[in-house]
Amino acid sequence: MDGWRNKGADLAAEDDGERMCAVGQRRWLRHRRRRTCATPTEPRNSSFLDRTLPSPTSRPLNNTASLQLVAMLRVGLRLATVGGCAAAAAAISKQSTNLKLDLDDATAFDVKESVRLAMAPGISAKCLATPQGKPCDPSKAEKPCKGLVTFLMLPDDMCEITYRVEGLTPGKHGFHIHEFADFSKGCLSAGPHYNPFGKNHGAPWDEDRHVGDLGNIEADESGVATGKLVDHLVKLHGPTSVIGRSVMVHADEDDLGKGDNSDPITRPPVNGKCSKVTGNAGARVACGEIVLA
């Protein structure tokens, strides 16, 4: 009998993460049914999931199975991070290997980054970049530029920055951190590059550069830019933390401070003549606040 009891205990421990995720999934589905039955004028109740987790329906999904998978992953992720449950985290990791079969690329990137940051030991942050309702030049884009950027402090105090941005024109685009997360006038009100040390604009590898100078990201023929970089000046802690500031994606390529700088004084800067200020990176097509993950 002891052998059967031990075997049962092992099986229960093995399935612990999946069972907790399933319980969270059922809870979320009950919550969704209550919201569906509410009248248009009925105020939305704030449940545990609404207060703690991003909505799985914020992006289009391919089918009902995808919706349920995202719900399960997000609930399980919350249990793993708040409760410190290794079994739940392991269950999420196992499920996330099949995300590409069920989700569109943007949603898969979002969920995978959420899992990765939750399981990483360092401080992490994220930024959802969009035109903030007021694109600089909507005539030049077939669809709005949007994307997700994540930040993770590494053990050597370097910052790993991972991004996926879509809706771009093919080619290189300036990629910066700006001083403010003020979007009252769309991305135009986010201020200049974050520059706490009073430096000139430059390349990420230059000594004379802004903290917010992250160079360029490059979009493929479908308008999607994905990648990762590691920077020594970007911090998520201390007096020069970028938390509460903004990520900015530009319409044009950043010349990295090597272009025309014939008019570095005029404000707002004159694009094409202020290389040491903006990198002549052109219009601001997407931006968003950097918040702790």
Per-residue pLDDT of the chain (293 residues; tens, 9 = 90+): 554 444 444 444 445 555 555 555 555 555 455 544 443 333 333 333 333 344 444 444 455 555 556 666 665 665 555 555 555 555 555 555 554 445 688 888 988 898 889 888 899 999 999 998 765 555 554 578 999 999 999 999 999 999 999 999 999 999 999 999 999 999 999 999 999 999 999 999 999 999 999 999 999 999 999 999 999 999 999 999 999 999 999 999 999 999 999 999 999 999 999 999 999 999 999 999 999 99
Per the CB < 8 A criterion, the answer to whether 201 and 260 are in contact is: no
213 counts as catalytic: yes
Give me the residues paired with residue 150 across strands. 126, 162
Per the CB < 8 A criterion, the answer to whether 201 and 255 are in contact is: no
Q: How far apart are CA 217 and CA 26, in angstroms?
A: 40
Cis peptide before 268 (omega within 30 of 0): yes
The single residue of 78, 164, 210, 245 carrying the catalytic annotation is 210
Q: Angle at CA 144, nearest 5°, toward 143 and 149?
A: 130
The single residue of 74, 78, 245, 284 carrying the catalytic annotation is 284
Give the amino acid at 112. K
The single residue of 193, 209, 254, 255 carrying the catalytic annotation is 193
The kind and range of the H/E element at 17 are helix 16-37
Neighbours of 141 (CB within 10 A): 18
The single residue of 78, 164, 173, 178 carrying the catalytic annotation is 178
Per the CB < 8 A criterion, the answer to whether 110 and 96 are in contact is: no
- SS3 state of residue 169: coil
pTM for the predicted model, two decimal places = 0.70
The single residue of 201, 209, 231, 254 carrying the catalytic annotation is 201
The single residue of 176, 209, 245, 252 carrying the catalytic annotation is 176
Contacts of 83 (CB under 8 A, 6+ apart): none
Give domain 122-293's CATH number out of 3.30.360.10, 3.40.50.10860, 3.30.565.10, 2.60.40.200. 2.60.40.200
74 counts as catalytic: no
Q: Where in the chain is the domain with CATH 2.60.40.200?
A: 122-293
201 counts as catalytic: yes
27 counts as catalytic: no
237 counts as catalytic: no
What helix, strand, coil percent values describe the chain, rounded to 5?
Answer: 35, 20, 45
Encode 194-217: b = buried (16+ Cβ within 10 Å), e = exposed.
Answer: bbeeebbbbbbebeebbbbbbbbb
